[in-house]
């Protein structure tokens, strides 16, 4: 006889870990399933730096920013970990949205300061600034390598079960819940994970032996499977079809450039190009930040090759990498453009780059974070918990039926 669970979260990256944390804080019974081991590099939630870039003007995102800045502070206090380095964020270039961003952030009580390029260059001499500059002091760099274990540790302390090396082979949607077929490689219990007594029906659940399968049923599932979302949902059997906006998985390939100017101070930065001319060889806007011990991280946004997440090479696309070197040579005078280390991660992107946060029957979906979601992780966890508990809907822009 299968095990009956309450809420299963499928995918233990940033969003799944935050959903487990948010549900456990409400006293809900939750089991988090992750197909890989802790700290793996197969998805989008690894590495030690992500920009918390407040550069939004649309009201839904600005509201989330105001909430998430407080939630990151709360998570730091609860976990005892430093998760946010407030270096500030500097966005520049001929982006017509920058004045809108300044106005929206100011109205929301988030600091935003316009600067002349020469003023910015005096503060941050490692960057060459372009036309207009917006400095947002409340931004900085988040640390995924510290944040994910913190979410999971705090969730486990409140009774959540955390299972790594546990892959969902099949998701079947039923009238009263979901049935999952799982494959567990090594028993599936992570360090700090809890078992049994807090969840009815789980006390007698013994982890399967290496390479074995089991079937469990749950009242509901939260799917936060990142690059594997479409694979999982497209194979979901049952009476209710799960239709969501198309997701495109790309292998993104930023690089860490060696610092050449040891006196330079580095904010996080985003550089948006204009049409033609000096920008004709650009693939997209560029983002960047300092990664302690590794150099200055810079990368194109969302233009890497389309990949199957189970068949990635992890090797950089050479033409894009060469163009990134030229960008660094021109716009980042504080780095050595010829000394760099390529890195690799995935984006899972919707056609409009807005997230998918919705509930369809017994399945809650958190997907399509499109390369700009990590900063919102605690708020996304809260929204997914709201959807799972029926507390309130997500903003309409995140609807799966849009």
Mean pLDDT of 219-239: 91
Share of the chain above pLDDT 70, in %: 93
Query: Has residue 308 got a pLDDT over 80?
Result: yes
- Residue ranges, comma separated, of all CATH 3.30.9.10 domains in the chain are 88-140+248-349
pLDDT tens column, 136-194: 999 999 999 999 999 999 999 999 999 999 999 999 999 899 999 999 986 555 433 43
Rg value, the chain, Cα? 21
pLDDT tens column, 53-64: 999 999 999 999
- At residue 206, the pLDDT reads 41
Query: Has residue 369 got a pLDDT over 60?
Result: yes
Query: Has residue 198 got a pLDDT over 60?
Result: no
Using 50, 70 and 90 to split pLDDT, how confident is the model at 210? low
- At residue 42, the pLDDT reads 95
Calculate the average pLDDT of the chain: 92
How many whole angstroms separate alpha carbon 319 and alpha carbon 300? Answer: 12
Higher pLDDT, 242 or 269: 269
- At residue 277, the pLDDT reads 81
The answer to whether the beta carbons of residues 46 and 144 sit under 8 Å apart is: yes
pLDDT tens column, 311-321: 999 999 999 99
- At residue 387, the pLDDT reads 98
Q: Which residues pair with 349 in a beta bridge?
A: 248
The answer to whether the beta carbons of residues 323 and 283 sit under 8 Å apart is: yes
The tokens for 303 are 């233009």
Of 175, 198, 153, the closest CA to residue 28 belongs to 198
The tokens for 331 are 């716009």
Using 50, 70 and 90 to split pLDDT, how confident is the model at 266? very high
DSSP type of residue 375: G
- At residue 278, the pLDDT reads 84
pLDDT tens column, 16-69: 999 999 999 999 999 999 999 999 999 999 999 999 999 999 999 999 999 999
The CA-based dihedral angle spanning residues 392, 398, 400, 402, taken in that order and rounded to the nearest 10 degrees: 120
Helix (H) or strand (E) holding 223: strand 212-223
Query: Has residue 362 got a pLDDT over 50?
Result: yes
pTM: 0.93
- Residue ranges, comma separated, of all CATH 3.50.50.60 domains in the chain are 3-45+146-246+351-398
Count the Cβ atoms, other than its own, within 10 Å of residue 372: 21
The tokens for 30 are 């939750």
Query: Has residue 239 got a pLDDT over 70?
Result: no
- At residue 211, the pLDDT reads 79
Fold of 88-140+248-349: D-Amino Acid Oxidase; Chain A, domain 2 (3.30.9)
- At residue 196, the pLDDT reads 32
CATH class for the domain made up of 3-45+146-246+351-398: alpha beta
- At residue 121, the pLDDT reads 97
The tokens for 365 are 């979906």
Higher pLDDT, 200 or 7: 7
- At residue 96, the pLDDT reads 95
How many whole angstroms separate alpha carbon 310 and alpha carbon 299? Answer: 23
Give whole-number Cα distances, 281 to 274, 285, 315, 383, in Å.
11, 11, 21, 39
Share of the chain above pLDDT 90, in %: 88
Which residue carries 């390369």 as its tokens?
371
């Amino acid at each position: 006889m299968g095990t009956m669970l309450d809420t299963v979260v499928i995918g233990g990256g940033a969003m799944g870990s935050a959903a487990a944390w948010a549900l456990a804080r409400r006293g809900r019974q939750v089991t988090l399933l992750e197909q890989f081991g802790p700290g793996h590099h197969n998805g989008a939630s690894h590495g030690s730096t992500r920009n918390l870039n407040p550069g939004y003007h649309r009201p839904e995102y600005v509201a989330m920013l105001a909430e998430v800045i407080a939630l990151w502070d709360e998570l730091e206090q609860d976990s005892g970990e430093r998760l946010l380095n407030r270096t500030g964020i500097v966005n520049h270039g001929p982006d017509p949205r920058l004045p809108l961003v300044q106005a929206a952030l100011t109205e929301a009580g988030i600091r935003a300061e316009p600067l002349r390029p020469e003023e910015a260059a005096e503060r941050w001499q490692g960057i060459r600034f372009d036309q207009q500059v917006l400095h947002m002091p409340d931004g900085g760099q988040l640390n995924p390598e510290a944040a994910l274990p913190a979410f999971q540790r705090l969730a486990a302390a409140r009774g959540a079960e955390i299972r790594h090396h546990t892959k969902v082979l099949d998701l079947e949607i039923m009238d009263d819940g979901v049935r999952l077929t799982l494959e567990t490689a090594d028993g599936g219990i992570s360090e700090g994970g809890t078992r049994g007594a807090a969840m009815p029906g789980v006390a007698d659940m013994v982890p399967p032996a290496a390479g074995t399968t089991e079937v469990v049923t749950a009242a509901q599932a939260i799917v936060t499977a990142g690059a594997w979302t479409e694979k999982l949902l497209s194979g979901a059997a049952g009476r209710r079809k799960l239709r969501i906006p198309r997701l495109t998985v790309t292998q993104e390939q930023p690089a860490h450039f060696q610092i050449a100017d040891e006196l330079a101070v580095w904010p996080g930065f985003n550089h948006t190009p204009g049409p033609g001319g000096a920008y004709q060889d650009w693939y997209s806007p560029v983002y960047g930040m300092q990664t302690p011990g590794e150099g200055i991280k810079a990368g194109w946004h969302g233009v890497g090759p389309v990949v199957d997440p189970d068949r990635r090479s992890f090797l950089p696309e050479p033409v894009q990498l060469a163009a990134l070197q030229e960008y660094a040579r021109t716009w980042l005078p504080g780095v050595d453009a010829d000394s760099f280390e390529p890195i690799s991660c995935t984006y899972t992107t919707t056609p409009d780059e807005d997230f998918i946060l919705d509930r369809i029957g017994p399945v809650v979906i958190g997907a399509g974070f499109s390369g700009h979601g990590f900063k919102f992780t605690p708020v996304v966890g809260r929204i997914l918990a709201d959807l799972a508990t029926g507390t309130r809907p997500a903003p309409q822009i995140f609807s799966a039926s849009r």
